[in-house]
Chains A and B, each alone.
Chain A
Amino acid sequence: MAPLLELHDVTARYGQVHALHGVSLAVDEGQIVAVLGANGAGKTTTLRAVSGTVRRDGEIRFAGKALGRHGPEAVARLGIAHVPEGRGTFAELTVWENLRLGGYSRRASLKDDFVRVLEYFPWLEERRSQQAGTLSGGEQQMLALARAFMQRPRLLLLDEPSLGLAPLLVTEVFRIVKELNETTGLTVLVVEQNAHIALQVAQTAYVLEVGRVALSGPSAELREHESVRRSYLGY
Chain B
Amino acid sequence: MVELARRFVVRERRPRRTRTGVSAPVLAGLAAACIFLVIGCLSSSIFAQQTVAGLAQGVIFSSLALSLVLIYRATEVINFAQGEMAMATTYTAYQLTLWGISYWLAFFLTLGIAFVFGVVVQVAVIRPVQHSVIAVVIVTVGLFLLIDGLVTWRFGADLKFMQAPFGNAVYHVGDVTFARQDLGTLIVSIVSVLLLWALFRFTKLGLAMRAAALRPAAAALVGVRVNWMLAIGWGLAAVLGAVAGLMTEPTQFLQPTMMQAVLLYAFAAAVLGGLESPAGAVIGGLALGVFLNLVGQYVGFATSELRLPIAFAVLLGVLLLKPTGIFGHKKVQRV
* Chain A residues packing against B (C-beta within 8 Å): 14-15, 17, 19, 39-42, 44-45, 48, 51, 53-54, 71-73, 76-77, 81-82, 84-85, 88-93, 97, 100-102, 104-105, 131, 133-137, 147, 151
Contact = CB atoms under 8 A, between A and B. Distances in A.
A19 B221 contact: no
Contacts of B16: 91-92
Interface stretch (B5-13, B90-98, B146-154, B171-179): B5-13
A44 B220 contact: no
Given A14-B8, A17-B4, A101-B211, A134 B221 contact: no
B221 A93 contact: no
Nearest to A106: B223
Contacts of B37: none
B321 interface: no
B5 A54 contact: yes
Contacts of A84: 217-218, 221
Given A48-B9, A102-B222, A104-B223, A90 B215 contact: yes
Given A44-B2, A45-B1, A133-B334, A100 B221 contact: no
A84 B204 CA distance: 23
B207 interface: yes
A100 B5 contact: no
A73 B226 contact: yes
Contacts of A48: 5, 9
A101 B4 contact: no
Contacts of B18: 91-92, 131, 133-134
A141 B218 CA distance: 14
B333 A85 contact: no
B2 A85 contact: yes
A88 B16 CA distance: 14
Contact of A14 (B4, B208, B210, B224): B4
A169 to B, nearest CB: 16
Interface string B1-37: 1101101111000011111000000000000000000
Contact of A53 (B7, B207, B211, B220): B220
B1 A51 contact: no
21 contacts: A14-B7, A19-B1, A44-B2, A48-B9, A72-B217, A73-B226, A76-B222, A88-B218, A90-B214, A90-B215, A91-B15, A91-B16, A92-B16, A92-B214, A101-B208, A102-B222, A104-B211, A104-B222, A104-B223, A131-B19, A133-B333
B221 A76 contact: yes
A90 B9 contact: no
Residue from the set B5, B210, B217 with the largest chain A CB neighbour count within 10 Å: B5
A81 B214 CA distance: 19
Given A53-B217, A147-B222, A93 B210 contact: yes
Contacts of A134: 18, 334
B219 interface: yes
Contacts of B127: none
B160 interface: no
B131 interface: no
A53 B204 contact: no
Contacts of B225: 73
Given A48-B5, A105-B223, 6 more contacts: A17-B4, A44-B2, A44-B5, A54-B8, A76-B222, A92-B214
Contacts of B222: 76, 81, 101-102, 104-105, 147, 151
A100 B207 contact: yes
Contacts of B5: 14, 19, 44-45, 48, 54
Contacts of A101: 207-208, 211, 219, 222, 224
A72 B208 CA distance: 15
A88 B216 CA distance: 11
Contacts of A40: 1-2
A72 B207 contact: no
Contacts of A73: 220, 223-226
